[in-house]
Structure 1
Amino acid sequence: MRIKPKSPREAIQPDRAPEPPARSRHARNPIVILINLVLSSAVLAVLAIGAGLYWGKAEFEAPGPLKTDTTVIIASGSGLSIISDTLEANDVIDNAWVFSLGVRAYKNAGRLKAGEYAFTAGTSMRQVMTDLVEGNAVTHAVTVPEGWTVAQTVARLRENPILVGDLTDIPPEGAILPETYTFTRGTSRQQILDQMKAAQEKLLGEIWQRRSEGLPIETPEQLVILASIVEKETARADERTRVAGVFVNRLNRNMPLQSDPTILYGLYGGEAWTRDRSAITRSELDRQTPYNTYQIRGLPPGPIGNPGRAAMEAVANPSRTKDLYFVADGTGGHVFAETYEQHQANVRKWREIERTLREAERANGNGAAATAN
């Protein structure tokens, strides 16, 4: 049987593809569109902030633009903005805005300290911040030599170009501790002087508690008086306790101390040690003052300078000796004696040395001499 072919109109047609699903009504909702936009923006913002923080942190910790070491003064009362601009103006940092943000990020905006700061080449912003927060400012120093008077000390403080302000409360003689004191720019002269006074009070209290028993000294003030005399009589550490022992023995026997430096202080006060004096004249020795220990017995009414720690320690714990006299030996030290006869022999030897020194100094065009006790 033959099958009759279908007509062209009846040719097999491909199946029709299904229609795509209708778009959800939620997707077309404006609220959904807005939420998608906000979320997308938030993601982009987070990415941008993260990138900014990464860049800022890298900049904050990277080596700075400073080519050579430099010193910058941060004025007292400066805020973060002024400090940042000052650092940028001095090429310590290259971006004041980044520095300010970094300082705020570390919550240090109110902790930066004024002062004089030394920055090394290439210092990072983070290190700059650390220095300012910790107050690693440049320190200066002023030294008061042992035995100096208050007048000499005041003059040194007033001459110092770094310290500021004038002195309004000057302590009495013997009330400050000779020492080296460090300070930062902006420190006042009165602050340093007050520090010297506080240091003396503290040290004197400690030494007084450690003093030997049986000393002919009744108060800490008297210890300072005698220590100031010991300080001016010898600069040698190995002699201080022995010189102190001589004066203690004399006080116990009610003998005059016969200390030449007391004569000078009685005549010239705090200016005594600024004078170029090599010997005491007979007229000076004979002039009566409350400090002339050739004419008074016991201690003078006050110190003749500000003794150092070693001199005060020597008086508090003097050598146990029978010595009553000492005289220069020509080498910067002294020779000691228990009796007046021994002392006179030592004085004669010293006079010979003194005469030789004087002749040599005359030959050199100078004049210098020393006296005996």
Structure 2
Amino acid sequence: MIWRNIASNFLTLSIVLLLALAGAIAWGKHQFSGPGPSNIAQCVQIAPGASLNAVSQQLAAQGAVSSAYIFRAGADYLDKSRDLKFGSYLIEPNASMKDIVDVITAGGPSTCGTQVILRVGVRANSVLLRDMNPDTGAFEEIARFDPASGDVPEVIAAAQQKPDARLRITVAEGVTSWQIAEALKQVDFLSGEIKGVPAEGSLAPDTYEVEKGSERAALLAEMAKRQSAILAKAWEERPFGLPYKTPEEALIMASIVEKETGVAEERAQVASVFVNRLEQGMRLQTDPTVIYGVTGGRGVLDRGLRRSELNATTPYNTYRIDGLPPTPIANPGREAIQAALNPADTDYIFFVADGSGGHAFARTLEEHNANVARWREIESQRGQAVDTPVQDGG
């Protein structure tokens, strides 16, 4: 009898323990897969050779996970405990432990932490140092300098040496190939020589992730590859009847559109003006092409065009030549290429600045002259010179 009672009690205890264990496992799974405790984005840095134990303790200390033990157990269960990837990773607010395991074992470019960014602009270049504020989860600017000065601030020089620093090149729409090549020469986290300036228009304005010591020539090749793919796709999908014989001619038009307007919503309208002019046998008469003929794409013309420059016959003076200039005049972005190959359906053949940053479009010379008069009045009210001719195209 006594043994029967002992067996019964043991069975009861075993059931209770099994139920408790099942409950603990269920609770652990819920903790592992449920929303995490951090209400802000966090940057998690995985050091080279870091162990799962060290990372789990780090995450718990940061408040990204509620339990280092459950995090380790979950990573073991998913068979990812040995898959940690070196780098700095952005963890979204309330990310679950499972989400965090997926992020830090997937690898790829670092998505947070220190960023050193070369920004290549039309008028100036800059190198920017940013870092994530752990209290807000937002990136904040730490320092900035002009790379042409050659005087790299110590804080940026030190940041470039960090093994997990994220190095990026951001190229603005409308910069020339010469400007890009010169900018790449100015930063010391790239290596190698640039042999010659790439063809105008052949480089895609975009953001490029690089590693310390990346070859400048390889980066330019990647820019050319992206631009070629963008142009090829847009050319393949173009509508019937456009006045371009080759993709290169479309790229030339895209570069003109890019330089004529900074208003995204206007690109297709600006493209329609130049397409209509080509179809009607009118000259394009656009200042940016003349400017390119003067500068050769080497920098910005910080003055108005002179009458002698407007009167000179050059391959880029679209007041003097018929049709398109021989090459693009800058590197157009994806949207400008799309606009050149998908122009708006209008009968506009003129446009001029309207004082708001955009343009006033016209179908007839009479309408255009009225728009020009309004623009001259705006210039006069602003105290600007009014003797520079306002051209048909822009």
| TM bucket normalised to smaller | 0.5 to 0.7
Deviations 1:95-137 (CA, angstroms, capped at 9, x unpaired): xxxxxxxxxxx9x9xx999xx95699xxxxxx9xx98995656
**How far is the alpha carbon of 1:264 from its aligned partner?**
0.7
Aligned position for 1:358: 383
Aligned position for 1:338: 363
Aligned position for 2:353: 328
> Counterpart of 1:283 in structure 2: which amino acid?
S
Is 1:329–1:335's contact at 8 Å kept on the other side of the alignment?
yes
Contiguous gaps of at least 5 residues in structure 1? 1-58, 68-105, 121-126
**How far is the alpha carbon of 1:188 from its aligned partner?**
1.3
Is 1:145–1:178's contact at 8 Å kept on the other side of the alignment?
yes
> Counterpart of 2:253 in structure 1: which amino acid?
L
Distance 1:166 1:133, change over 3 A: farther
Is 2:176–2:200's contact at 8 Å kept on the other side of the alignment?
yes
1:275 partnered with 2:266: no
CA distance in 2, matches of 1:298, 1:230: 15
Q: 1:217-366 maps to which residues of 2 (within 5 A)?
A: 217-271=244-298, 273-277=299-303, 279-359=304-384
Q: 1:57-76 maps to which residues of 2 (within 5 A)?
A: 60-63=51-54
Q: Secondary structure at the match of 1:232?
A: helix
> Counterpart of 2:213 in structure 1: which amino acid?
G
Distance 1:210 1:135, change over 3 A: closer
**How far is the alpha carbon of 1:275 from its aligned partner?**
3.1
**How far is the alpha carbon of 1:171 from its aligned partner?**
2.0
Is 1:140–1:184's contact at 8 Å kept on the other side of the alignment?
yes
1:151 partnered with 2:142: no
> Counterpart of 2:358 in structure 1: which amino acid?
G
**How far is the alpha carbon of 1:181 from its aligned partner?**
1.0
**How far is the alpha carbon of 1:185 from its aligned partner?**
1.6
Q: Secondary structure at the match of 1:239?
A: helix
CA distance in 2, matches of 1:263, 1:152: 18
Q: Secondary structure at the match of 1:270?
A: coil
**How far is the alpha carbon of 1:161 from its aligned partner?**
2.5
**How far is the alpha carbon of 1:214 from its aligned partner?**
0.6
Is 2:285–2:391's contact at 8 Å kept on the other side of the alignment?
no
Contiguous gaps of at least 5 residues in structure 2? 1-49, 59-79, 91-99, 111-163
Distance 1:60 1:147, change over 3 A: closer
Aligned position for 2:38: none
**How far is the alpha carbon of 1:158 from its aligned partner?**
1.0
**Which protein is richer in strand relative to its size?**
2
CA distance in 1, matches of 2:109, 2:351: 50
Q: 1:51-130 maps to which residues of 2 (within 5 A)?
A: 60-63=51-54
Q: Which of 234, 239, 246 in structure 2 is aligned with 1:207?
A: 234
CA distance in 2, matches of 1:291, 1:149: 15
Q: Secondary structure at the match of 2:264?
A: coil
CA distance in 2, matches of 1:197, 1:354: 40
Distance 1:347 1:368, change over 3 A: closer
**How far is the alpha carbon of 1:170 from its aligned partner?**
3.7
**Runs of at least 4 residues of structure 1 off by over 6 A?**
130-133, 367-370
Which has the higher Rg, Structure 1 or Structure 2?
A: 1
Deviations 1:140-161 (CA, angstroms, capped at 9, x unpaired): 1111111111000101111123
**Percent same amino acid among aligned pairs?**
44
1:140 partnered with 2:167: yes
- Say which is worse superposed, 140-149 or 181-190, in terms of deviation: 181-190
CA distance in 2, matches of 1:368, 1:63: 71
> Counterpart of 1:300 in structure 2: which amino acid?
P
Q: Secondary structure at the match of 1:275?
A: coil
**How far is the alpha carbon of 1:350 from its aligned partner?**
0.8
Distance 1:212 1:136, change over 3 A: closer
Q: TM-score by structure 1 length?
A: 0.62
Distance 1:316 1:355, change over 3 A: same
CA distance in 1, matches of 2:260, 2:106: 48
Aligned position for 1:3: none
**How far is the alpha carbon of 1:169 from its aligned partner?**
5.5
Distance 1:249 1:135, change over 3 A: closer
Aligned position for 1:77: none
Distance 1:118 1:152, change over 3 A: same
Q: How large is the Cα RMSD of the aligned pairs?
A: 3.4
> Counterpart of 1:274 in structure 2: which amino acid?
V
Q: TM-score by structure 2 length?
A: 0.59
Is 2:178–2:198's contact at 8 Å kept on the other side of the alignment?
no
Distance 1:356 1:183, change over 3 A: same
